[in-house]
Amino acid sequence: MLSVLLLSHLFTAAFAAQPSAPAPVEAPLRELPWGQLNFLQTTDVHGWFAGHLQEPSYSADWGDYISFAKHLRDRADADGKDLLLIDTGDRIEGNGLTDASDPKAIYTYDIVKEQDIDFICSGNHELYKTSSSEGELNFTVPNFKDKYLASNLDIFNPKTGNFEPLARRYKKLTTKNQGIRVLVFGFLYDFTGNSNNTIVHTVEDTIKQDWFQYAIRDEEVDLILVAGHVAIRSKEYDAIYKAIRSVQYDTPLQFFGGHTHIRDFKRYDDKTTALESGRYMETIGFLSISGLNGHSKSEDVSASKGLTFSRRYIDNNLFSLRHHSGTDQDTFTTSAGSKTSALIHEARKNLTLDTRYGCAPQDYWVNRAPYPSVLPGQFKQSHRAAKGHPALVITNTGAMRFDVFKGPFTRDTTFLISPFTSQFSYLRDVPYKKAKKLLQLLNNEGPIVVDKALSASVSGSLHRLMPELPEIESGDDDNDKTIVVTPLRKHKPYGQVPLGDKKPELIPGYTTKDDAGDDGDDTLHSEIKFYNVPPCIQASIGLGDSDSETLTDKEPQAVDVVYNEFLESWILLALEYLDEKRSKDDIALYMNGTLTDIITGWVSDNWAHDGDDCP
């Protein structure tokens, strides 16, 4: 049932998808529920503008999204309906296309801007580094002008020497065909890990400000939109919802959210819903609203129908995109789309993302080998291990963000599996009796507790391969420190699985359940099983329990506790709990290199290389 539409066409005519992208796979589809006002949403793209080059379900690229949106806009115009596009942030970090350049993301500003996005805002990942937020100030904001919204975000402008709103706080517009008056905000959740050149005002403070209170009292609006890098089930959106509803008791209200990387749809009340459209260019969210008051001169489609909201999660591949746009292989790709696909291809080439380090002999999932064996293998090269000091190495499973698929392990792969730049530190000579209790203390709910924000709310989708960075809550409740858990992880590889007799052959993938039921996904998929994994995993060096270690017959007195820098606060906290208080002065670098460098080193040493066959 493979539709091999793609390849022959690629090099001759228009550039659609990336040349190495797998052909899309045919699957049963649900139609898009068009309405009076329609939206397409992307969120948490994290640099995946080239699409997924090893997964057919998500193999369309940003250029294809441009072609797709153009066809849908044309259809909206022809039908007298409206279509608006939204991106809710975290466009960068997590893919070689954004992370392999210095400064990061320089190739992507020109790629993103080719899409005609109506509302765009910043995520937390745009703000970790000064250079990234300055990239927003220097490029994305000028590229999108008044379409960029920053309701609670200020930036230090080097030109004026002042902190200023990154973009406008809100805007109002009237839709082109239906004449619907829309008031729009663009929020970021209460993020605190930003570099010092930005200020994120808490949502709670922001909604008290005069400009916000003034804006929400506008009576000349038919719809209020809140687009934000905010989970749709969050205290931030609850607060905004209450603030707006307290002054506009029945104006239709629509939230678009992000950050938690899931497909989800929430109903707040009869006139308010929220959509979150996944992650990594796997999903293009579609939402429609009908029954709004329009002010178009020509026709009034709102009529007497009640207000309705409908959603669909589109798998981002050419099979779906062509189907929903009523096009085929000859008519799908627009010149703007093709130009952008070519731009992405060239950027990937310039960044040498296809350089191969090895060939993965099979699929590996984040919660399995090879990670546990990689760490001791490479860490033996550290100066401490070389001198015979035994060690326990602890890393958070959240540092491994993505699966490794059978086939080429390239420079691009290194950015996908672990984009974090933290290195490994150690505390020397920790009593072994205490050190060996650390892992359990970090992984079990106890005095060091799992982050509520991140472990909660996985309804709607189980696709949480990539948790967000943990942030220590700086609350005053002393024992209640929190660590991230990655609750559910993909277990099965991607691929077609024969099901029982007579059923259509479904491809494993998203099977979303949300407040509107289980019919949200455009593509009918078979379910993927997920397993819980602990937040942290451990490997040992010189303790005899991993392969090719010399067996020591008795326990050592003391070991080095080696950990991903990321976990430092929790390690110190856990040791303190074990009566082994250590200060930051005791901490030293264990080995040069990030987790990514370490895994890449291991792959080069252990897996087949260039020149060898690598299907």
Interface with ligand NAG by CB under 6 A: which residues?
A: 103, 107, 131, 134-135, 138, 156, 158-159, 196-197, 343, 346-347, 350, 383, 589, 591-592
Which of 351/537 has CB closer to ligand NAG? 351
Q: Which of 536, 538, 535, 539 has its CA nearest to residue 548?
A: 539
Q: Least distance to ligand NAG from the beta carbon of 35, Å?
A: 38
Quote the tokens at residue 38. Answer: 């329609």
Determine contact, residues 522/312, Cβ cutoff 8 Å.
yes
Q: Least distance to ligand NAG from the beta carbon of 91, Å?
A: 14
- Number of neighbours of residue 549 by Cβ within 10 angstroms: 15
Which of 336/524 has CB closer to ligand NAG? 336
Determine contact, residues 37/72, Cβ cutoff 8 Å.
no
Q: Least distance to ligand NAG from the beta carbon of 470, Å?
A: 23
Q: Which amino acid is residue 1, in one-letter code? A: M
Alpha-carbon 319 to chain mean position: 23
Q: Least distance to ligand NAG from the beta carbon of 499, Å?
A: 43
Which of 155/448 has CB closer to ligand NAG? 155
Which of 80/593 has CB closer to ligand NAG? 593
Looking at residue 173, the DSSP 8-state letter turns out to be E
Q: Least distance to ligand NAG from the beta carbon of 384, Å?
A: 8
Q: Least distance to ligand NAG from the beta carbon of 387, Å?
A: 12
Q: Least distance to ligand NAG from the beta carbon of 200, Å?
A: 14
Quote the tokens at residue 482. Answer: 């929190």
Determine contact, residues 33/314, Cβ cutoff 8 Å.
no
Q: Count of residues for the chain?
A: 615
Q: Least distance to ligand NAG from the beta carbon of 147, Å?
A: 20
Q: Least distance to ligand NAG from the beta carbon of 603, Å?
A: 20
- Residue 450 CB burial class (10 angstroms; 0-12, 13-18, ≥19): buried
Q: Least distance to ligand NAG from the beta carbon of 423, Å?
A: 9
Distance, in Å, from the CA atom of 371 to the CA atom of 546, rounded to the nearest integer, reads: 13
- At residue 578, the 3 state secondary structure works out as coil
Which of 134/560 has CB closer to ligand NAG? 134
Q: Least distance to ligand NAG from the beta carbon of 162, Å?
A: 10
Q: Least distance to ligand NAG from the beta carbon of 424, Å?
A: 9
Q: Least distance to ligand NAG from the beta carbon of 588, Å?
A: 7
- Residue 524 CB burial class (10 angstroms; 0-12, 13-18, ≥19): middle
DSSP conformation letters of 105-172: TTTHHHHHTTS--SEE---STTSSSHHHHHHIIIIIHHHHGGGBB-TTEEEEETTTTEEEESSBSEEE
- Number of neighbours of residue 162 by Cβ within 10 angstroms: 10
Which of 331/592 has CB closer to ligand NAG? 592
Which of 339/582 has CB closer to ligand NAG? 339
The radius of gyration of the chain's CA atoms, rounded to the nearest angstrom, is 25
Distance, in Å, from the CA atom of 73 to the CA atom of 79, rounded to the nearest integer, reads: 10
Quote the tokens at residue 514. Answer: 């949300």
111: left (phi over 0), alpha (psi -120 to 50) or beta: alpha
What is the spatial order of strands in the sheet that 587-594 belongs to?
536-541, 391-396, 558-564, 423-431, 587-594
Q: Which residue's structure tokens are 């707040």?
A: 268
Which of 136/276 has CB closer to ligand NAG? 136
Which of 159/387 has CB closer to ligand NAG? 159
- At residue 470, the 3 state secondary structure works out as coil
How far the first Cα of the chain sits from its last, in Å, is 21
Which of 196/246 has CB closer to ligand NAG? 196
User: Dihedral of the CA atoms 523, 524, 529, 533 (nearest 10)?
Assistant: 30
Which of 144/156 has CB closer to ligand NAG? 156
238: left (phi over 0), alpha (psi -120 to 50) or beta: alpha
The number of CA neighbours under 13 Å toward the Cβ of 592 is: 0
Which of 154/363 has CB closer to ligand NAG? 154
Distance, in Å, from the CA atom of 466 to the CA atom of 488, rounded to the nearest integer, reads: 10
Which of 135/377 has CB closer to ligand NAG? 135
Which of 131/202 has CB closer to ligand NAG? 131
Q: Least distance to ligand NAG from the beta carbon of 356, Å?
A: 20
Omega into 470 within 30° of 0, i.e. cis?
A: no
